């Protein structure tokens, strides 16, 4: 059955859809600030009412923090054999520094810019605008057809921007209710400006803080320099040894479980014409510093990393102080891929540090998280159906891509609900999420709604 009528409805109702988004954007649902707790409740209530207007059985669910919103449309659908869950979050980042905003962040407006119209306001792209693309696609289906193409569960969180402390317990307690054939997450973006993407690789994250202690107190470098061990020297040598001359990480066993990129995915990535030099040029750099035999996209999407995020030791204030410090510390993070075991890597890293420790020094470690990578299987025909549907809407063919960062919710769907997640978003790199003057292109909002109409039709046909 053609979606032409549904897509025409989306086009004709874009103004009304935009105004509904504006209503949601006006609610200052900053989850990390207790002063906005009532606003988070308001946003959840708004979404419950909006889902109910679509015919969903929707409710606000209490948690120890901000509420979840859950809604279901499972009766009277075209294909009851297909059930998708859509996840989004209604909370937003704080707006500080407020003086860098060109307008009130919770007084959203559509603005004309040299690159087209944008929706300006906190949460426009992350994640209220993205969330509403899916809701508006469902609204268009209902308005034009009277039904939805398949069973749909809506799952909206109110604590994503403050660490999701209630998410795992809620998912565990409500696992049977939330289980579906696949999860859809709209908290990602396009590749460039016109190429839709489905994220199928998410790097995991491991953090380690290392503190090396030598003397019992800070020492005068004139009296003790040369004879006393300096922990900064020890730390520097250890850090310098973490990479070889080809950019590979030297921690023993580090590459265990790291897969090679499948050829079909490599071909898609090559077709994206990623300019690594241009990418680095935007931040004042020029030469890729990762593994010498890897492409730029491999470095940021499908290869593991070891990065030093901070070093402290000795006197770092104004002026100069000739001191041998008693302690020196470093914060080191690892981005993980494939089947790398974060706990095994932690053990091996600590053993590596211990092995390079000279006499008169001791080391302490403090771990900061240990989450594995996420890998979605594109063997599921739903992935290819969605990719082809997206390709019909955008100027460029959709691609399966990786994500250099970590999106924990995708892993939770897999580990808690045994579901794969499909990450499809329409944000752009210049949306300034988490920063002043956040925006969402009106074209992204419009095409995002149309994209979900096509994706829903394609997924429902796979049941």
Pairing assessment for the beta strands 182-185 and 79-89 based on DSSP bridges: parallel
- Please say whether the beta carbons of 453 and 215 come within 8 A: no
**Distance between CA atoms of residues 426 and 455, nearest Å:** 13
Token pair of 452 as six digits:
């979900």
pLDDT in tens, the chain (463 residues): 579 999 999 999 999 999 999 999 999 999 999 999 999 999 999 999 999 999 999 999 999 999 999 999 999 999 999 999 999 999 999 999 999 999 999 999 999 999 999 999 999 999 999 999 999 999 999 999 999 999 999 999 999 999 899 999 999 999 999 999 999 999 999 999 999 999 999 999 999 999 999 999 999 999 999 999 999 999 999 999 999 999 999 999 999 999 999 999 999 999 999 999 999 999 999 999 999 999 999 999 999 999 999 999 999 999 999 999 999 999 999 999 999 999 999 999 999 999 999 999 999 999 998 988 988 888 899 999 999 999 999 999 999 999 887 788 888 999 999 999 999 999 999 999 999 999 999 999 999 999 999 999 999 997 6
> How many residues can be counted in the chain?
463
CATH 3.30.70.360 residue ranges for the chain: 204-258+304-371
Task: Report the topology of domain 204-258+304-371.
Answer: Alpha-Beta Plaits (3.30.70)
**Which CATH code of 3.30.559.10, 2.40.50.180, 3.40.50.300, 3.40.630.10 fits the domain covering 4-202+373-460?**
3.40.630.10
CATH 3.40.630.10 residue ranges for the chain: 4-202+373-460
Cα-only R_g, the chain: 25
Q: pTM of this prediction?
A: 0.88
**Distance between CA atoms of residues 448 and 431, nearest Å:** 15
Instruction: Give the helix ranges, DSSP H, for 82-185.
Output: 128-145, 167-173, 175-178
Q: What are phi and psi of 403, to 5 degrees?
A: -135, 120
Token pair of 159 as six digits:
């604590």
């Amino acid at each position: 059955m053609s979606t032409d009528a549904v897509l025409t409805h989306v086009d004709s109702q874009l103004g009304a859809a935009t105004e509904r988004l504006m209503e949601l954007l006006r609610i200052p649902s900053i989850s990390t600030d207790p002063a906005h707790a009532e606003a988070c409740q308001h946003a959840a209530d708004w979404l419950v009412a909006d889902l109910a207007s679509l015919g969903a059985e929707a409710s606000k669910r209490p948690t120890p923090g901000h509420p979840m919103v859950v809604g279901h449309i499972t009766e009277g659908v075209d294909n009851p054999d297909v059930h998708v869950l859509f996840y989004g979050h209604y909370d937003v980042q704080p707006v500080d520094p407020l003086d860098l905003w060109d307008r009130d962040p919770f007084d959203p407006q559509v603005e004309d810019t040299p690159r087209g119209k944008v929706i300006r306001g906190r949460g426009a792209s992350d994640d209220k605008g993205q969330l509403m693309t899916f809701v508006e696609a469902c609204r268009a289906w209902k308005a034009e057809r009277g039904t939805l193409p398949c069973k749909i569960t809506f799952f909206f969180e109110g604590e994503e921007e403050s660490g999701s402390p209630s998410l795992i317990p809620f998912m565990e307690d409500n696992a049977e209710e939330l289980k579906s054939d696949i999860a859809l997450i709209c908290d990602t973006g396009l590749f460039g400006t016109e190429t839709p993407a489905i994220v199928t690789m998410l790097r995991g994250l491991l953090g380690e803080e290392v503190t090396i202690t030598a003397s019992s107190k800070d020492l005068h470098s004139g009296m003790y320099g040369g004879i006393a061990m300096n922990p900064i020297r020890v730390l520097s040598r250890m850090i310098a040894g973490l990479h070889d001359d080809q950019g590979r990480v030297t921690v023993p066993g580090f590459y265990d479980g790291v897969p090679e990129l499948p050829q079909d995915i490599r071909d898609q990535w090559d077709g994206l014409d990623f300019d690594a030099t241009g990418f680095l040029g935007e931040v004042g750099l020029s030469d890729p510093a990762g593994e010498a035999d890897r492409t730029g996209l491999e470095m940021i999407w499908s290869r593991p990393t070891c990065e030093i995020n901070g070093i402290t030791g000795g006197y770092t204030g104004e002026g100069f102080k000739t001191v041998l410090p008693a302690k020196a510390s470093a914060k080191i993070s690892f981005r993980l891929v494939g089947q790398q075991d974060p706990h095994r890597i932690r053990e091996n890293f600590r053993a590596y540090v211990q092995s390079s420790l000279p006499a008169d020094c001791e080391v302490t470690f403090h771990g900061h998280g240990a989450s594995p990578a996420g890998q979605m299987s594109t063997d599921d025909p739903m992935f290819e159906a969605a990719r082809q549907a997206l390709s019909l809407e955008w100027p460029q063919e959709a691609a399966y891509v990786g994500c250099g960062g970590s999106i924990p919710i995708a892993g939770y769907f897999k580990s808690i609900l045994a579901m794969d997640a499909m990450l499809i978003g329409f944000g752009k790199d210049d949306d300034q999420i988490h920063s002043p003057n956040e925006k969402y292109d009106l074209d992204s909002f419009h095409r995002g709604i149309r994209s979900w109409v096509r994706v829903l039709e394609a997924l429902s046909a796979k049941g």
